[in-house]
């Protein structure tokens, strides 16, 4: 039985009160709370603009639509991420061009990007894998030289920064997820940050049917015109109310995650057969999303270790179950073979994610460390 789940949303009376207050009023969408949440989030990340959406996937899809990425275009994307990072490209009709990740923290291998650039390439999409910042210096340099857009998938990277600049501010936009086990939650939800007003203005239209007038600017209720092909990807007021309370508490969450990580590092006995992905590598600062163990020894079966950890009561997860190009949809569509993305295979097939969240008590941390020490023998 799992005694310590991998992730658990941190919900207090503050969030519950905020939700109840929304429900006592008639404004459940198009309201002021999403604006407030956007302001607070932009302030925390040091970005000029932010706009709430229904999920991180919706946010990435909207970015490509706003920049007119379409069939015939190519977008370079890391092969080691959530399927959403590639699906948001494919949804536009464009082709994702996969690049392997590096061998040490699973971020896109920047030395392999330029070889994949063609006349059709429009953008580079990267993820800050498990909250470790990607090498944005190298990526922005390549993007500038080749006139490419850059989208940062920051779904697990709230709180991560390089040289005191929060991730999501290096490329043209950054997108965050508020799925329940991410750093903060709104139930389901996401947000796009950007320092480019044009991108945010266009996304604000596209997330609301492509309508030309926001709700508040309509002189006569119900009066509007649609000038773009848009979707309904907005965040509702109930979610925004939760988000406001969560972002206020987030600095505390991050400090707890960091403390948990350092405590586990001090208690886990280092052994030859596995590595632990590091979070602190100045000037890179991670978001402590999870403790990621990578099995190095070929004789050790990962599933066996996961089963044993779970039966000790320790919840685990896998980030991610396969390199994206090896997921059936992409394998069938483009015919990628295994062994093309060797480092992504290492993380997908050999890593185990352990909890770092705010739900962990001292005894839970000890259980996690002791179980690892017991289960991985050499
Ligand atoms: C969770 C996650 C997503 C998807 O986020 P949603 O809000 O569920 O759409 C995308 N990318 C990464 C890296 C993720 O971890």
**pLDDT, one tens digit for every residue, the chain (378 residues):** 899 999 999 999 999 999 999 999 999 998 999 999 999 999 999 999 999 999 999 999 999 999 999 999 999 999 999 999 999 999 999 999 999 999 999 999 999 999 999 999 999 999 999 999 999 999 999 999 999 999 999 999 999 999 999 999 999 999 999 999 999 999 999 999 999 999 999 999 999 999 987 777 778 888 889 999 999 999 999 999 999 999 999 999 999 999 999 999 999 999 999 999 999 889 999 999 999 999 999 999 999 999 999 999 999 999 999 999 999 999 999 988 777 899 999 999 999 999 999 999 999 999 999 999 999 989
Pocket test residue of 82, 173, 290 for ligand 1, highest count of atoms within 8 A of CB: 82
Whether the CB of 190 sits within 6 Å of ligand 1: yes
Handedness of CA 364, 369, 374, 376 (dihedral sign): positive
Residue 197: count other Cβ atoms within 10 Å of its Cβ.
Answer: 10
In angstroms, the CA 279 to CA 288 distance is 7
Nearest CA, atom 1, ligand 1: 155
Q: Which residues belong to CATH 3.90.1150.10 in the chain?
A: 249-375
Q: Looking at ligand 1, which atom is closest to the CA of residue 190?
A: 7
Query: Torsions phi, psi of 295, nearest 5?
Result: -75, 125
Q: Looking at ligand 1, which atom is closest to the CA of residue 57?
A: 9
Whether the CB of 82 sits within 6 Å of ligand 1: yes
- pLDDT value at position 80? 98
Whether the CB of 84 sits within 6 Å of ligand 1: yes
Q: How far is the CA of 369 from the centre of ligand 1 (A)?
A: 28
Complete edge-to-edge strand list for the sheet that includes strand 49-53: 49-53, 190-194, 173-177, 149-153, 121-127, 74-78, 95-99
Whether the CB of 176 sits within 6 Å of ligand 1: no
Angle at which helices 197-206 and 56-66 cross, to 10°: 110
For residue 299, what are the contacts with CB-CB under 8 A and spacing of at least 6? Answer: none
Q: Quick check: pTM over 0.85?
A: yes
Longest dimension (CA), the chain: 72
- pLDDT value at position 218? 77
Q: Looking at ligand 1, which atom is closest to the CA of residue 320?
A: 15
Q: How far is the CA of 343 from the centre of ligand 1 (A)?
A: 21
Q: How far is the CA of 25 from the centre of ligand 1 (A)?
A: 31
In angstroms, the CA 98 to CA 108 distance is 10
Q: Which residues belong to CATH 3.40.640.10 in the chain?
A: 13-247
Fold assignment, 13-247: 3.40.640
Pocket test residue of 52, 54, 56, 57 for ligand 1, highest count of atoms within 8 A of CB: 56
Q: Looking at ligand 1, which atom is closest to the CA of residue 156?
A: 15
Pocket test residue of 57, 61, 174, 187 for ligand 1, highest count of atoms within 8 A of CB: 57
Pocket test residue of 53, 63, 179, 317 for ligand 1, highest count of atoms within 8 A of CB: 179
Half-sphere exposure of 90 (CA within 13 A, CB side): 14
Q: Is the Cβ–Cβ distance between 87 and 108 less than 8 Å?
A: no
- Does the domain formed by 249-375 have CATH 3.90.1150.10? yes
Residue 90: count other Cβ atoms within 10 Å of its Cβ.
Answer: 18
Span 265-279, pLDDT tens digits:
999 999 999 999 999
Q: Looking at ligand 1, which atom is closest to the CA of residue 55?
A: 7
Angle at which helices 302-311 and 362-375 cross, to 10°: 140
Span 318-341, pLDDT tens digits:
999 999 999 999 999 998 877 789
């Amino acid at each position: 039985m799992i005694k310590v789940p991998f992730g658990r949303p941190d919900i207090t009376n503050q969030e519950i009160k905020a939700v109840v207050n929304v429900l006592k009023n008639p404004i459940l969408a198009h309201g002021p709370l999403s604006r407030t949440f956007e302001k607070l989030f932009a302030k925390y990340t040091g970005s000029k603009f932010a706009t709430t959406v229904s999920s991180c996937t919706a946010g990435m899809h909207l970015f490509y639509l706003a920049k007119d990425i379409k069939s015939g275009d190519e977008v370079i994307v890391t092969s080691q991420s959530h399927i959403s990072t590639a699906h948001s490209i494919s949804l536009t009709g464009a082709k994702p061009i996969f690049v392997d990740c590096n061998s040490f923290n699973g971020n896109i291998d920047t030395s392999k990007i330029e070889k994949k650039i063609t006349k059709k390439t429009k953008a580079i999409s990267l993820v800050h894998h498990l909250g470790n910042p990607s090498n944005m210096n190298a990526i922005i340099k390549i993007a500038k030289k080749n006139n490419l857009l850059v989208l940062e998938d920051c779904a697990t990277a709230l709180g991560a920064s390089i040289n005191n600049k929060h991730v999501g501010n290096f490329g043209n936009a950054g997108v965050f997820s508020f799925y329940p086990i991410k750093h903060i939650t709104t139930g389901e939800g996401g947000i796009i940050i950007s320092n480019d007003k044009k991108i945010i203005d266009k996304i604000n239209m596209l997330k609301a049917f492509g309508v030309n007038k926001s709700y508040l600017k309509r002189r006569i209720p119900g009066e509007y015109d649609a000038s773009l092909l848009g979707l309904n990807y907005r965040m509702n007021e109930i979610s925004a109310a939760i988000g406001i309370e969560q972002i206020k508490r987030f600095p505390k969450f991050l400090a707890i995650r960091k403390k948990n990580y350092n405590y586990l590092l001090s208690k886990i006995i280092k052994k030859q057969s596995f590595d632990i992905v590091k979070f602190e590598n100045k000037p890179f600062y991670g978001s402590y999303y999870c403790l990621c163990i990578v099995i190095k020894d070929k004789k050790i079966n990962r599933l066996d270790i996961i089963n044993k950890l779970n039966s000790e009561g320790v919840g685990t997860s896998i980030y991610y179950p396969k390199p994206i190009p090896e997921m059936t949809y992409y394998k069938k569509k483009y015919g990628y073979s295994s062994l093309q993305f060797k480092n992504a295979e290492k993380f997908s097939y050999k890593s185990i994610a352990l909890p770092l969240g705010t739900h962990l008590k001292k005894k839970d941390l000890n259980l996690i460390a002791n179980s690892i020490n017991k289960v991985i023998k050499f």
